[in-house]
A and B are shown apart, each in its own frame.
Chain A
Amino acid sequence: MATVVLKLGNDISTDHIYPGRYMATVLPTETPQFAFADMAEFNAMLRSGAVSPGSVIVAGQNFGCGSSREQAASTLKGYDLVIVAKGFARIFLQNSANLGLRTVISPDLEASEGDELELLDDAIVNRTTGQRASVIPLPKARQAIIDAGGLIAYARQRLLA
């Protein structure tokens, strides 16, 4: 079971997720401190450890639009969050697969903050409301990388192949 810790709308850009002014910070070990830095309350919650790994952010269409900055994925991966959105922007989706950040596409999930979700392979069950929402598979091109545990591991395999 996973708790919805944040609910967002459409077109959440990489500037929301990881503001440009923190882009000099690049290492995946250091980026989590600036996750949603302009949303002071949520940022403080994350940093205080109040959000348990596997918690869910629910968003609308086009999550992660904007820049190619990988910090937007690594900052969320740092807390092991799961992003469930109606849709994702291409580069963000690709960065997530590469870094092992879990993303789920569900066009019809209805959920509020505090709801408990069960994430199945082909559906999401909202245990709080009883809704069973559909899941659209990720673009198949990314699957080999996800299966390898991320792009570093995948590229290493290919290098040695």
Chain B
Amino acid sequence: MTIVQKILARATGQSSVAVGDIVEPRVDLAMSHENAALVINQFREIYKGTGREPIVWDPERIAIIFDHRVPAESSKTATNQKRIREFVAAQGIGKFHDMRGDQGGICHQILPENGYVRPGQVVVGTDSHTTSHGALGAFAFGIGATEMAAVWALGCVFNVEVPATMKVVVRGVLPEGVAPKDIILNLIGRVSAEGANFKVIEFHGDAIRSMDTSGRLTICNMAVEAGATSGIVPADEETVRYLREVAGVTGELDVVTPDPDAAYSEVVEIDASSLVPQIACPHTVDHVKAITDVAGTRVDQVVIGSCTNGRLDDLAVAARLVKGHRLASHVRMLVFPASWRIYKEAMQRGYLSDLIDAGATVMNPGCGCCLGVHQGALGDGEVALSTTNRNFKGRMGNPTAEVYLCSPAVAAASAITGVITDPRG
């Protein structure tokens, strides 16, 4: 069986499951952000007329993180957040992260860094990039708010079809200036935005084995941009190291790995050593080109951060490249670390001051400009170069603007020159 088949078999108390089987896996962790406001509404709907009190199935397995609109950009959001806080208190929800410097950040960073996600778990989130948590060997996928309401009520996801698995083998050593982001952009460009629809992508190969958890989170984060239900990296020594050293997890870990004879729907091979920096061009994530094809394109706004590339290693790369330089005069650069913990570490290491000295605006951790809700909207016809994960029309708040996606190294190098620039020199 593939790793996801194994996880689903265990979550349904069966010895095995086959692709296409319909199962109702028990949920280990159920994550929401501000859209918990809608989940709460739908949760109460389920109980209407039943004569039962709406009480969640397990408050310790529910995580709610405020990240999409922090601080609140409107009174409407503030009121939604207020209602969620009241619900969290009333239900005793354990894993709540308000917008506070001592606990806050983007949901897909908060879950791993607090040790909430473990190998072998079933994790669902009302966010499509819940695929990120496959980086720790869990089966993690996005669901809608009503689906989450049903999870809160009953503790399982209804009618899940066991997905087929695409195996992606990444071999070789990434050249200097080329990053995990380039691997996943290359894959999305090759298989297309729907190439892995309804499938899971299992990542293998020595380039993945030798990659740290931060890089694996970047790769699994964007698996959904190929349409995948989830991405997953089989847990290994690095997973255990991350969970122990970074996330502070103690006690036993249940490392699930795929069988050697697991059946895959297809195998895709990537030679990491031959990759060059990749750029996803407007307006689809699979419109991927080698940097050499788009170098020289003028940019107005450079964005570094998000759940995709807002971790310490990403900020380190960016700080190193801009240190001692100034942003091109027509460029504005926004940096938003993925969590306050990362923010503080980047501050202590001097990364933030290097970025600020170069002219960058360092923003609070949160989703900010990534989804075009507030902070850093684009003007008509403007061009953004961003380390985030989506470039759909209107994504950064303006349907006439263009968004290009890239690695932190490309973003930082380009911020200095004002045009898309190859960081390899």
**Contact between A151 and B373 (Cβ–Cβ < 8 Å)?**
no
**Contact between A27 and B154 (Cβ–Cβ < 8 Å)?**
no
Q: Cα distance A70–B371 when bound, in Å? A: 15
**Contacting residues, chain A, for B372 (C-beta < 8 A):** 15, 19-21
**Contacting residues, chain B, for A154 (C-beta < 8 A):** 150, 158
**Contacting residues, chain B, for A13 (C-beta < 8 A):** 390, 392-393
Instruction: Knowing A27-B38, A90-B227, say if A68 contacts B394 (CB, 8 Å).
Output: no
Min CB distance A142 to B, Å, is: 6
Quick check: is B165 within 8 A (CB to CB) of the other chain? no
Choose one: B34, B76, B161, B397; the contact of A141 (CB below 8 Å): B161
**Contact between A16 and B154 (Cβ–Cβ < 8 Å)?**
no
**Contact between B77 and A155 (Cβ–Cβ < 8 Å)?**
no
**Contacting residues, chain A, for B48 (C-beta < 8 A):** 156
Name A156's closest neighbour in chain B (CB-CB): B46
8-34 of chain A: CB within 8 A of chain B = 11, 13, 15-16, 19-21, 23-27
Choose one: B22, B52, B154, B198; the contact of A90 (CB below 8 Å): B198
Q: Determine chain B's interface SS by DSSP, over half rule.
A: loop
**Contact between A24 and B161 (Cβ–Cβ < 8 Å)?**
no
Choose one: A25, A139, A160; the contact of B76 (CB below 8 Å): A25
**Contacting residues, chain A, for B34 (C-beta < 8 A):** 23-24
Instruction: Knowing A156-B46, A160-B50, say if A141 contacts B193 (CB, 8 Å).
Output: no
Contact with A along B190-233 (1 / 0, CB 8 A): 00011001100000000000000000000000000001010000
**Contact between B41 and A145 (Cβ–Cβ < 8 Å)?**
no
Choose one: A25, A98, A156; the contact of B144 (CB below 8 Å): A98
Quick check: is B294 within 8 A (CB to CB) of the other chain? no
Total interface residues in chain B, CB < 8 Å: 58
Quick check: is A46 within 8 A (CB to CB) of the other chain? no
Total interface residues in chain A, CB < 8 Å: 46
Min CB distance A90 to B, Å, is: 6
Q: Cα distance A160–B68 when bound, in Å? A: 35
Choose one: B127, B286, B397; the contact of A67 (CB below 8 Å): B127
Quick check: is A112 within 8 A (CB to CB) of the other chain? no
Q: Cα distance A109–B81 when bound, in Å? A: 44
Quick check: is B14 within 8 A (CB to CB) of the other chain? no
**Contact between B50 and A159 (Cβ–Cβ < 8 Å)?**
yes
Min CB distance B36 to A, Å, is: 10
Q: Which of A47-55, A58-66, A120-128, A129-137 contacts B (4 or more CB under 8 A)?
A: A58-66
Q: Cα distance A86–B126 when bound, in Å? A: 25
**Contact between A89 and B393 (Cβ–Cβ < 8 Å)?**
no
**Contact between B395 and A24 (Cβ–Cβ < 8 Å)?**
no
Quick check: is A144 within 8 A (CB to CB) of the other chain? yes
Instruction: Knowing A23-B68, A68-B144, A154-B158, say if A90 contacts B229 (CB, 8 Å).
Output: yes
**Contact between A140 and B38 (Cβ–Cβ < 8 Å)?**
no
**Contact between B394 and A38 (Cβ–Cβ < 8 Å)?**
yes
Contact with A along B147-172 (1 / 0, CB 8 A): 10110011000111100000000000
Name A25's closest neighbour in chain B (CB-CB): B76
**Contact between A66 and B74 (Cβ–Cβ < 8 Å)?**
no
**Contacting residues, chain A, for B69 (C-beta < 8 A):** 24
**Contact between A23 and B198 (Cβ–Cβ < 8 Å)?**
no
Name B77's closest neighbour in chain A (CB-CB): A24
Q: Cα distance A87–B193 when bound, in Å? A: 12
**Contacting residues, chain A, for B159 (C-beta < 8 A):** 141-142, 144-145
Quick check: is A95 within 8 A (CB to CB) of the other chain? yes
Quick check: is A1 within 8 A (CB to CB) of the other chain? no
The 6 closest A-B pairs by CB, nearest first: A26-B38, A95-B144, A62-B194, A20-B371, A155-B150, A141-B159
Enumerate 14 A-B pairs (CB-CB under 8 Å) in ascending A order.
A13-B393, A26-B35, A61-B194, A68-B144, A91-B143, A95-B147, A98-B144, A141-B160, A145-B159, A155-B149, A155-B153, A155-B154, A155-B158, A159-B47
Residues of B whose CB lies within 8 Å of any CB of A are 22, 34-35, 37-38, 41-42, 45-50, 52, 68-69, 73-74, 76-77, 80, 125-128, 130, 142-147, 149-150, 153-154, 158-161, 193-194, 197-198, 227, 229, 284, 286, 371-373, 390, 392-395, 397, 399
Task: For the A-B complex with A94-B143, A152-B46 known, give 10 more contacts whose Cβ atoms are closer than 8 Å.
Answer: A13-B393, A16-B393, A27-B41, A62-B193, A67-B127, A67-B371, A70-B145, A91-B143, A155-B149, A155-B154
